[in-house]
Structure 1
Amino acid sequence: MTHINTLDPGASPLDYYGFELRRYRESAGLTQKQLGSIVYCTGSLVGQIETARKLPTLQFSERADIALGTGGALSRLHELVMRSQLPAWFQQVAELEARAIEICTFHTHLVHGLLQTKAYASAVLGAVERSDLEDRTSVRLARQRIFEKVEPPVFWAIVSEAVLHQEIGGPEVMREQLAKLLSFENDPRINIQVLPFSVGAHAGLQGSFDLFRFPSDPTIVYTEGYGSGHPTANPDTVKDCSLRYDHLQAAALSLKDSAELIRRVMEERYGEQRDSGGDPVA
């Protein structure tokens, strides 16, 4: 257990956050319990965050910023803290997501992490390992803050129709997830196309991949294996995957038809089942 008096602010972004929170709190003349009562949590939780034993939430950071008059310092630091908690092999990808002006993704079996709901993300992350699941889920969802930037990236997602039918977390979780995909229907920066089963053989049969484009840096192709990620700027790979993505977009349903298919699957496959009296079946 990390002791508050020996906390090293240089050990990690989480340790630095805890060190700064403690410094701001003490400068304000507040105890942990007093700060907790102001930001609607326990003094014990404040202590756990100060000693890098608990991840701060964005809500906690925003409330603490107001209570301690930090000028938003903790909220700004929160993004770095959450990114540092990603698996080491994925941290570079999160940085690519944060810097890119355009992200193009193709997924064959699940919804991309930047579009996942909390329940869906939890079900995916908890499929094999359930320890620290709440924190790991929060870390994944924190990546979605890139869409809140003043100039968010343009995001194109092509998903296999199989993604809509792969029941992850149960019908209720899938209804919520597909409803979230539909919520972007009128957002010109977040575009979702479905590659239907009927297309047969296609340019993405080798698997999922992402393309990251930047104002001046080379385009990056990212593929993923079990516990490892493979970003590359190799011109031949980038050219090949860019061409494949063009073909996938041409083969996929239009944005309008994709939304209609998502809505149909949500209603027909994951809609509430009712008995003869019209009441939901448990």
Structure 2
Amino acid sequence: MVGVRSRELDPSASPLDYYGYELRRAREAAGLTLAQLGSAVFCTGSLIGQIETAAKVPQRDFSERLDAALGTDGLFSRLVGLVLRSQLPSWFQPYAEMEQKAAYISTYQCQLVYGLLQTEAYARAVLGAREEGDLDAKVAARLERQRILEREQPPVTWVVLSEAVLHQEVGGREVMREQLSHLLTLQKRRWLDVQVLPFEAGAHTGLMGSFNLLRFVSHPEIVYTEDFVQGHMTANPEAIKEGSVRYDQLQAAALSLTDSAALIARVMEERYGNEPGPDGRDMA
């Protein structure tokens, strides 16, 4: 482990460096070797060394085990949120920070399930198709964003999905079945509504693409859009007004909550419910 131990971190360089610096300091204060701590948290000493030198991004469950093993009173569980957020694209991080503060989230998605509602397998398929680098870290960062939905007082969230989202096979049939099942489960939460905009709606105000509206208790509202390069946030009153009107019209054109759930369930069973046999035909 000489090569791993040789790098000295600057804890002010990044959240990942700070995490690694604090991990080494806590481990050495406890008098543990890399292998001993690895054994205590059910991983290899090599992985501990990689995280201590900021060569590997820690996960949340790992951080929780660290706190238990080292008696650090939740230190690493708190730090890992900052670390994972830093793994998001730099242009997306300002939006992620505002998303964390939002009291109300309204989103229209024309191609993909909204990030806060994605399963791990679906997120991995999406990020693996268009991102380079540490895929595990990027998936963990996306799942970390979803923790706002588990709060005691989560943001009120309204989601309108184009029916195309249900048919776009991301990651394969099993992944899609799990994802649509997850959407049905989420619909049981009283603060989260999922509506589907059916193909039969025809021309509608979301044809220009996906967008999000964030409302806050003590900040101006924000409209967020993305292109293939980066995201764009604005609090311009005219943009807010236009976005709000468009979203209201999308909700009005979408199916009711009950009918949306029925459509999701139908697509899940009819399109993804049966596994194809060796000849390519569905098996009963």
Distance 2:17 2:133 in 1: 21
CA displacement 1:208-244 (0-9 Å, x = unmatched): 1000110011000000011211000000000110111
4+ runs deviating over 6 angstroms: none
Counterpart for residue 207 of structure 1: 209
SS at match of 1:150: coil
Cα RMSD (Å)? 1.7
Counterpart for residue 11 of structure 1: 13
Q: Are 1:2 and 1:52, in contact at CA under 8 Å, matched by a contact in 2?
A: no
SS at match of 1:227: coil
CA displacement 1:15-42 (0-9 Å, x = unmatched): 0001111111111111111111010000
2:78 to 67, 76, 79: 76
Aligned-residue offset at 1:134:
2.0
Distance 1:244 1:129 in 2: 30
Aligned-residue offset at 1:197:
0.6
Q: Are 2:60 and 2:77, in contact at CA under 8 Å, matched by a contact in 1?
A: yes
If the length of structure 2 is used for normalisation, what is the TM-score? 0.94
SS at match of 1:88: coil
- Report the more deviating stretch, 233-242 or 196-205: 196-205
Q: Are 1:4 and 1:50, in contact at CA under 8 Å, matched by a contact in 2?
A: no
2:254 to 230, 252, 255: 252
Counterpart for residue 175 of structure 2: 173
- Report the more deviating stretch, 183-192 or 122-131: 122-131
If the length of structure 1 is used for normalisation, what is the TM-score? 0.94
Letter in 2 for 1:88: S
- Structure 1 residues 54-73: aligned runs within 5 Å: 54-73=56-75
CA displacement 1:65-114 (0-9 Å, x = unmatched): 01111110110111111001111000011101110011100000110111
2:163 to 161, 164, 174: 161
- Structure 1 residues 1-282: aligned runs within 5 Å: 4-129=6-131, 131-273=133-275, 281=283
Distance 1:158 1:256 in 2: 13
Letter in 1 for 2:62: F
Q: Are 1:120 and 1:168, in contact at CA under 8 Å, matched by a contact in 2?
A: yes
Letter in 2 for 1:93: Y
Distance 1:3 1:67 in 2: 21
Q: Are 2:224 and 2:233, in contact at CA under 8 Å, matched by a contact in 1?
A: yes
1:34–1:2: structure 2 CA closer, same or farther, 3 Å change rule?
closer
Distance 2:32 2:263 in 1: 55
Aligned-residue offset at 1:4:
4.9
Identity %: 62
Letter in 2 for 1:92: P
SS at match of 1:104: strand
Gaps of 5+ in 1: none
1:85–1:29: structure 2 CA closer, same or farther, 3 Å change rule?
same
1:99–1:269: structure 2 CA closer, same or farther, 3 Å change rule?
same
Q: Are 1:89 and 1:227, in contact at CA under 8 Å, matched by a contact in 2?
A: no
Distance 2:175 2:109 in 1: 19
- Report the more deviating stretch, 62-71 or 146-155: 146-155
